[in-house]
Copies of this chain bind each other. A is one copy, B any other.
Amino acid sequence: MKSTMMVAELSINDIFARAARLFPQSEVVSLLPDKSLRRQDYAQITVRARALAHALRALGVEKGDRVATLCWNHHAHLECYFGIPLAGAVMHTLNLRLSPAEIGWIAGHAQDKVLVVDNVLLPLYRQVSQHHGFRHVIVFPFGEAQLGEAQLGENVLDYERLIAPHLGRDFTPVPHDENDPIALCYTSGTTGRPKGVAYSHRSTVLHSLVGALPENWGLKGSDKVFAVTPMFHANCWGVPYGALMCGASLVFPGQHLHAEDLLDLMVREQPTLALGVPTIWLSLLQAMEASPGRWSLPPGMRSLVGGAAVPESLIRAFAAKGVTIVQGWGMTETSPLASTSYIKPEFQNAGEDEIFRRKALAGVPVTLVDLRIVGDAGELPWDGKSVGEVQVRGPFVSGTYHEVEPDPDKHTADGWLRTGDVGSVDAAGYLRITDRTKDLIKSGGEWISSVDLENALMAHPAIAEAAVIAVPHEKWTERPVACVVFKKGHEATPEMLNRHLAASFARWQLPDRYEVLEAIPRTSTGKFWKLRLREMFPA
């Protein structure tokens, strides 16, 4: 027999139409380059996104064409999130932290036809344009332009002038299948060339629904979401789609990611949910410690932190300030939410230590994501001890890369994504990431977890940040070297630090060397840049 249910395709155009109709009053607040605020509501944003769709069609953009963005987090970037798919095209968010050559290579590989770029990023665009030619370049007047149009060529258009004739016009979305792509994002490519992940209407709607569930973002119309995560990282972790689905307001920091600016904006806008990477959240703590009493975090604010392991000390420090952190684990290939460290009912009365310990784990797989741990001999039990590669699958997990041949190093023959993370799952279903495959330290035939060492070091009162790398060693193959940043006015000797670590690590696992830095270099995604550290501190 057959189901009697309607054939109704999932579409983010429906999420958009819902937002326009039901939530016209929800706000979108953007911090401009001059640090003034631009306040808009969904009514304006949706009118502008429809106008953008008209303008793109008028420029000759066709179904499936790639329209790239090279933008900070702000309202016009949000307009691209919806206006580009409305027009049937695929939004390709370019990572402005990469080198111009890399950005150009990625734009070329994706065959980007049109670019939407912030005027403050025109110097970067000019360098990128040496490597890839866009047919049209649409310049959004975000702040003071740093290059005149005359210097840029004839194919350059002004965003506001382009959309102006279409403001207020309705737009009928270009017909599509639920599996058609809406957005393209290249992974940062720690090994080999960057690779593109293309999200579909279906995957994005499903990810938005799962993300909005009470134990993940817990998103309501009354929420105000502070999206610190760059909009070119896994679509800002998918939260702009979720926000429009639920009618939540959004606050974007623009290009101002310094702790002081972020804290000022939090105090001013009082978000209820904030999303970002642990390194930025660490910088917030440091700024608050350096200027006690200058800022108070919004009372009761929730925070989803991910993109790298979240140290327990960070979670505790925010809890002491009234902010609940939930850790999310995932990656560009998983849309990105694959697990969250919410506290399951059986641990809610387990005592503070156990609760914080669990919050510092990568968490429980979210609905619709299937997860397994695979060792050399196959799938491993969920016993909290068996460590192997973490593999996932599900309707918002990428099964291939855009225009790349299938690679058994990336996907298994039975259809799972090999995440490159190594970890274990305990009997309660909590994933613990031990390391990235490539960040494990192999010493004397045994493995040392750089993540465990980093977390333990960051719990030391003198240490603000710590990154542990493997350096080649003649006898032991590899040995750990710890790169540390001290808190202002604090320091500690290697002996003191090793004594601190000895409480939880075997003697042979302790770092051989400590390197004291002013700051740990970061990748374009705000993670500790271990590749750079390995170059700085060879054997």
Q: Which residues of A are in contact with B by a Cβ distance under 8 Å?
A: 1-10, 14-15, 18, 21-23, 25-26, 64, 66, 90, 179-181, 196-200, 202-203, 205-206, 209-210, 212-215, 218-222, 245-247, 342, 344-346, 348, 364-365, 367-368, 370, 382, 393-402, 415, 417, 428-429
Contact = CB atoms under 8 A, between A and B. Distances in A.
Number of copies of this chain in the oligomer?
2
B399 A7 contact: yes
A25 B348 CA distance: 13
A382 B24 CA distance: 14
B222 A6 contact: no
Contact of A415 (B6, B23, B219): B6
A394 B346 CA distance: 36
A1 B181 contact: yes
Contacts of A66: 1
Given A215-B221, A345-B222, A199 B245 contact: no
A172 to B, nearest CB: 15
Contacts of A398: 4-6
A21 to B, nearest CB: 7
A363 to B, nearest CB: 11
A61 to B, nearest CB: 13
B247 A400 contact: no
A195 to B, nearest CB: 9
Nearest to A179: B3
B212 A5 contact: no
A1 B113 CA distance: 13
A25 B347 CA distance: 11
A386 B222 CA distance: 28
A6 B395 contact: yes
A215 B220 contact: yes
B198 A5 contact: yes
Contacts of A22: 344, 364-365, 428-429
A395 B221 CA distance: 23
A441 to B, nearest CB: 32
Interface centre among A5, A180, A196, A401, by most chain B C-beta atoms within 10 angstroms, is A5
Contact of A399 (B6, B202, B205): B6
Contacts of A197: 4
A18 B198 CA distance: 27
A423 B198 CA distance: 42
A147 to B, nearest CB: 31
A211 B130 CA distance: 51
Interface centre among A7, A214, A245, A346, by most chain B C-beta atoms within 10 angstroms, is A214
Contacts of A4: 181, 196-198, 398-402
Contacts of A180: 3
B213 A8 contact: no
Given A8-B394, A370-B14, A3 B199 contact: yes
Given A1-B181, A214-B246, 20 more contacts: A1-B64, A1-B402, A2-B181, A5-B179, A5-B199, A5-B396, A6-B394, A6-B417, A8-B397, A10-B368, A15-B367, A21-B382, A21-B429, A22-B428, A22-B429, A25-B345, A213-B219, A213-B246, A214-B219, A247-B345
